[in-house]
Structure formats: C-alpha cells, structure tokens
Amino acid sequence: MTRLFLVLLLCLSFAGNGVFAQPVLARSAAVEQIILVLWHGLDWSDIGGLQFDVPVALGLLNARSGGGEALSASHLTISAGARAVGLGGAAVFYDDDVVGKDLYRRNTGLEPTTLVQPKIAQIHAVQTASYRIEPGALGTALAEAGVPLRVLGNSDGLETFSWAALVGMDGWGRVWQGSVGPEFTIMDGSYPYGLRTDYARLYFEVVQAAEPLVVVDLGDPFRYDQYQSQLVPAQKETMGRIIAEEAQLFLKDIVENRSPQTVVLLISPHPSQASASRGYWLTPVLAWGQTEGLLISGTTRWPGLITNMDIAPTILDALRVEHNQPLIGRPASIEPLAQDEATLWLETMAGKIGFFSRYRGQVLRALVIGQILTYTAVLISLIASAALPHWAVRILQVALLLLMAMPLGLLLWDQAPLVVLALLIAVVMLKCRHTPSIQLVGAISMATALAITMDVFLGSWLMRYSFLGYDPIGGARFYGIGNEFMGVLIGSSIMGWAIVVERGQLPRHWRNAGGLLLFGVLTVVVGAPSLGTNVGGAISAVFGFGSAWIAFAGKKVNVRTIFVLVAATMVVLGALMLVDGANSQGDQSHIGQTVELIRRDGLVAMFLIITRKLAMNAKLLRYSMWSNALIVALLGMGASFIWPSRYIFWLKENHPLIAKGIVGVVIGSTAAFMFNDSGVVAAATCLSFASSTLLLLALESKHDFVASKSYIKDDGYGN
C-alpha cells in the first residue's frame, strides 16, 4: 500500500507542476478605463451590427445566478463576483428624494451619497448560498482602493430604477457618482411604454466620464423585453430591429471614439424572456480595445466561455486594483484568434451546447429506462424456475452488453457517430457468434477507461459535448472530469483490469505492478489540478482503486482496510491542496478555491460545503432519474446473489478476481455517493459496470448451465 501512495504522490506532483498544463493565455495589457455596457436580452442575431473596425474578443457568458428574483439576481451576481440571490426592487435607487434618503439613513446609520439603496440590509439577508456572498463587492473593492466609478442610464424611465446602479453599488448600497434618472429618456409613443433612450445625452455623459469604471445601462433593450408580450409578431420584430440598430450605433460611436487605453466591455446580464423560458442562459459578451480572440477564464478553462462571476474579477484585474473581496469568479483573458475564426468557433460551440442541453434529459432518461427494463427482464428470468430459450438469453446478454457500451458511445457520439454505430454493431455480432460475455465485458470496460483517460489528458473536449458530460448552461462544472464519467471511469477500469488479470492469468507480481501503475495514473486523471480536480472523485478513486488493488494482491478487504484507505485519502487530498495552492489564484482548480474559502471563512465554509453536498444528494435521491438507476443496480446485484441459488460460491470459485473487482467497484461507488454533491449520479454510473457483469454471469450460471444439463457438474453445488 505504501508503494501505491508514493506512485500517486509522484504523479500528482508532476501533474501539478505543469506536465499536463495548457499553454499560458495572453494577458490583458495596461487599461486606464473600462466602459461596461449592459444590454439586456442581447442575442447573437444582434451581433452582426457590432462589427467595428476595432479588435474585439468574443465569448459566451453563463448568466446563471443564485436564485430569487431573477433579474436582480443576475446583476447582483456581477457585482458580487459570485452567484447571488435576487430581491424585488433591488434596482430602485434614490438620488434627490428626501424620503428615500431619510429611509437609507434610518436603515444604515450612514449619510447618503449621490445614489443609495435603502433595501441593502434585505439584499444581504437573502444571500443564503453555501458560501460567502458580498453584494456590491466590485464597488466596495474600488471604493477601498480609492478608484472612482460612475453609473449612467435609466432602465424604466419613470424613477431612478437602474441596473447599472445595482452593478456599481458598494456593499452599503451606495453609488458615489452617477445619474440614473428620467433625464436619459425621451417621450415617444412609438416605443415601449411611450419612452425611448436619449442616446445623444447618454453618449455625452459617457465620453465626459473620467472615472476608471463607467457602468452604462442602455435602457431601451430592457423596456422592449418587458413589453414585447403586448406586441403582435410583425410589430415585435420591427420594434426589436429598430431598438437593436440604435443601440448598435451608440456602441459604434463609443468604441470608435474611445481612447487607446479604454476597453469597452459589452455584456447581457440576463437573457431575453424567450431564451430564459427555454433554459438557455448563455448570452454574448464582447470586449473591444484589446486583441482579437476568444474570452476565457480560470472558472471555465473553456475558450469562448466565461461566467457572470468573472466580470468583477476581470475589471479589478485589468484596472490593477488590489482587494480582499470574496470573489468566486476569476479574471478573464484572451486566447488570440482571428475574428472570423472566433465567430465561427462561437457559432459552432453555441449550437452544440444548445443541442446537448436541449436533448440531454431525454437521452439520459431513455438510457435509465432501458437499464430498468433490461435489469427487470433479467431478474425475472433468474427468478423463474424454468430456463429461457437460448435466443431469449442471448437477447438479454446483448442488452446488458449494449448498456455497458453506452457510456463509451455517448463519449464518442459528437466526434465519431459512425464509430459508435460500428461499436454497437460489433458488440451484437460478436455476442451472436458466441464470444464469451466476460471477454466482451473486459474489452468494453478497458476501451471505455482508455477513451476517458485520453480525453481528459487532451482537454476533456469529448466530455464537453456529450449527453453524459457536464452542462455548461447549468454551470456546475466546465472542465475536467464530471461526476457522470468519473463514476464510469472508476467502475469500468476496475472491472476491466479484473477481467484482464483473470483471463490473462498474470503472475501476482505483474498483477500488483500493473494495477499500481494503472490505478495511480487514473487517480491523477481524476484528481490532478492541471486536469481539473474532481475532489469527491479523487476520494472515490482512492477508496475504489485502493480496495481493488489490495484485494487483487491477495489480502482481505476488511475494517482495517477502510482505515488505511481513509489515511491514503488524507495524504492524497493534502498533496492536491499543496499542488494547487502553489498555483496563482486565477489558475487554481476547484480544490485550491475550496482551500481558499476555508482559509478565509474557517469552519463555517466547511460546514456549508458539507451541508450543500448532503442537500444536493437528498434532492437527487428524491427527484433525479439517476436515483432510479442506482436503485435498480443495487436490486440487480442483490438479486443475482439469490438467483440462481448459491451463485456467490460459484462466482468466487470460477471468477475469484472478478468477484474482488466487484467489491472494489461497490466500495468506490459508496465513496462516490458519500463524497460528491451529485453522488447519486456518480454511484449509479460506477455501480452499473459491477451490476451488469454480475447479471451477465448469473444468466450464464443459471440458463446456459441448466439448459445444457451441466449445471451440477460445472457448479459443484447441486441445488
């Protein structure tokens, strides 16, 4: 076991020191001013009019928030650099209103500034996430550093309602400079609510602003999005086009007349109502004034994709503002690429992400239903006293093998659909030609583990566009190995290696050395910071791989083994923390960010992380289709030990290493369930390889042997 620890630590050390790291991206040059423009509901159809003769970096912005009132949550998330919870009325600020300023003074005990939000205590109170959130962190960081900002633009035209003020306020609900009143609107009966933005006045105020950060709300796009349900289709299209063209002209003037040290950053904090209603939370983001290319951040490590949490860190980094605010996001940088190529990349990426997000639930639901039906049919065949016809047994075996091949097929589907089709046909044909099931299980398992490993080392691009991969719209994970494929990797590699060593009859010393190398490399695949640490996955890997390796070495897996594995887990996690902690904050993976949270917030952060994981697992157990997959896998394993009678004895005698591998998979899936915030998913995908293997062997031991009248002779237990 000591050798296993040393191999893991050595691999993690190499991985953390950049052996597998990606090239460093281009960093922003010196910036003196940033003009942050808020265009509500910006869509790719509006981007065509934003092709100016100025270098532009493009990207998609994940606009997910922490819940609550959606519109205010999106803007508070930008100001907090973390997914914040929204509150109705959060964007209503007071300037010259005596009553409003008296209310602010009474609520806070502070003297009002130019603009104030009296509900600031309520805004803070609704932040109930499992990590520290500071609304107004961007404004606070600038204020503490003595860097002024200005907010401009009105959102509703009637009172001082402004999303720009909500983005630019500090943690006390104060904005020191700015104007957000109806002076930025003109009465016009042909526009939504009879108002339109006075772009001449807004342009004048923007170009006159000398503050390092200027936050601008266009106004018209928001009012149009709120009003469009009252428009007939033709008028909706006409009005939308006119409002977009006017906004484009305003941006053109700002971009082309800016100083060379000014960056214009255009974002859409919230998608249009149409996009939000269908769950599409990716909006365009453009940055003029640096180099051409794709925007990327340490949060996503995905060229062309950043999050709304990254906006505040990006602004503070570009303006070189030192701060101690609890920002979850990371500064964005630019991966150089010609504008035409960047646009094509984003169009292709957006199309793929939309496709997989739209059909992911349907495909995975079909997969789980298929597993439930197949397992149910197999269990019925095991319970029945009579043997099934050979053709029926063959169908059930093929179905189980196809289920095992599905993760590999879903991994390769986007890039090689013909290969997937050939794989499935090959499984059917080989089984119909009487290829032993256990050989096919070994081949499928090892091929799956190899494909996942290669994909992770090459940047996880197959997982990013897979129905079984992570969803960048949901935003739980953007890089590395997700819980779905993490479970698949642990389950497939243990079962595959068990079959290889058993069928190959490898000597024990070769078995131990090969398993040590294989499991060490795979633990690095799951846990290395440079590859996108999956912390819960690393724990699961240590428990699953460690217990399997101990069993293959001829030692018993007992309570003492569990204590050894706990110690091994602590060593591996400590190594991960040291390795990732040595990286710069912007380049740290999930475990480095977790350590930073614990260092900053103490045991409270640890408690919140644990409760969040428990709450997520409880939710998934109740509502997720993966809970059904996990339950049916457990039932399949339990029933296969009952029918046929004394199957466990036959399995241990005829397939001793496979039996030990199954024990390793069970321990690994149990750890996956306990230590991951979506542990139900990881446990279900991991356990499926053990349960399908058990059911395949149970089918053969009952039906093949009984049908040939040789069960008693081959089994030796005569039931």
Tell me: the pLDDT tens digits for 67-92? 999 999 999 999 999 999 999 999 99
Q: What is the pLDDT of residues 344-383, one digit of tens each?
A: 999 999 999 999 999 998 999 999 999 999 999 988 888 8
Hey, what's the torsion of the CAs at 487, 488, 494, 498, to 10 degrees? Answer: 150
Percent of the chain whose pLDDT exceeds 70: 86
Residue 436, preceding peptide bond in cis (omega within 30° of 0): no
Phi-psi bin for 718: left (phi > 0), alpha (psi -120 to 50), beta? left
Q: Could you tell me the pLDDT band of residue 715, with boundaries at 50, 70 and 90? A: very low
Q: Could you tell me the pLDDT band of residue 711, with boundaries at 50, 70 and 90? A: very low
Is-contact 680 568, C-beta < 8 A? no
Q: Could you tell me the pLDDT band of residue 528, with boundaries at 50, 70 and 90? A: confident
Distance of CA 278 to the CA centre of its chain: 19
Of 146-160, 397-411, 478-492, 694-708, the least confident: 694-708
Percent of the chain whose pLDDT exceeds 90: 54
Q: Can you give the pLDDT at residue 373?
A: 92
Does the pLDDT of residue 716 top 60, yes or no?
no
Is-contact 126 85, C-beta < 8 A? yes
Q: Can you give the pLDDT at residue 73?
A: 95
Does the pLDDT of residue 615 top 80, yes or no?
no
Does the pLDDT of residue 167 top 80, yes or no?
yes
Q: Are strands 293-297 and 174-175 parallel, antiparallel or unpaired?
A: unpaired
More confident residue, 559 or 313: 313
Distance of CA 346 to the CA centre of its chain: 18
What is the mean pLDDT of the segment spanning 97-121? 90
Q: Can you give the pLDDT at residue 131?
A: 75
Does the pLDDT of residue 28 top 50, yes or no?
no
Does the pLDDT of residue 219 top 50, yes or no?
yes
What is the mean pLDDT of the segment spanning 171-180? 93
Exposure letters 248-268 (e unless 16+ CB within 10 A, then b): bebbbbbbeebeeebbbbbbb
Q: Could you tell me the pLDDT band of residue 20, with boundaries at 50, 70 and 90? A: very low
Q: What is the distance between the alpha carbons of residues 423 and 206, in angstroms, rounded to a whole number?
A: 60
Q: What is the distance between the alpha carbons of residues 176 and 149, in angstroms, rounded to a whole number?
A: 8
Q: Can you give the pLDDT at residue 628?
A: 74
Is-contact 303 294, C-beta < 8 A? yes
Q: What is the distance between the alpha carbons of residues 559 and 2, in angstroms, rounded to a whole number?
A: 18
Q: Are strands 213-217 and 149-152 parallel, antiparallel or unpaired?
A: parallel
Q: Can you give the pLDDT at residue 200?
A: 95
- The burial of 711, by beta-carbon neighbours within 10 Å (0-12 exposed, 13-18 middle, 19 or more buried), is given as buried
Q: Could you tell me the pLDDT band of residue 252, with boundaries at 50, 70 and 90? A: very high
What average pLDDT does the chain have? 85
Task: Name the pTM for this structure.
Answer: 0.86
Q: What are the tokens at 188?
A: 């016009």
Q: What is the pLDDT of residues 293-334, one digit of tens each?
A: 999 998 999 999 999 999 999 999 999 999 989 898 999 999
What is the mean pLDDT of the segment spanning 273-277? 88
What is the mean pLDDT of the segment spanning 491-514? 88
| Residue 350 DSSP SS3 | helix
Q: Could you tell me the pLDDT band of residue 604, with boundaries at 50, 70 and 90? A: low
First to last CA, the chain: 40
Q: What is the distance between the alpha carbons of residues 527 and 654, in angstroms, rounded to a whole number?
A: 35
Length of the chain: 719
Q: Which amino acid is at 131?
A: Y
What is the mean pLDDT of the segment spanning 698-712? 57
Comparing CA positions, the residue from 546, 535, 565, 555 lying closest to residue 672 is 535
For the chain, which domains are there? 33-337 (3.40.720.10), 351-715 (no CATH)
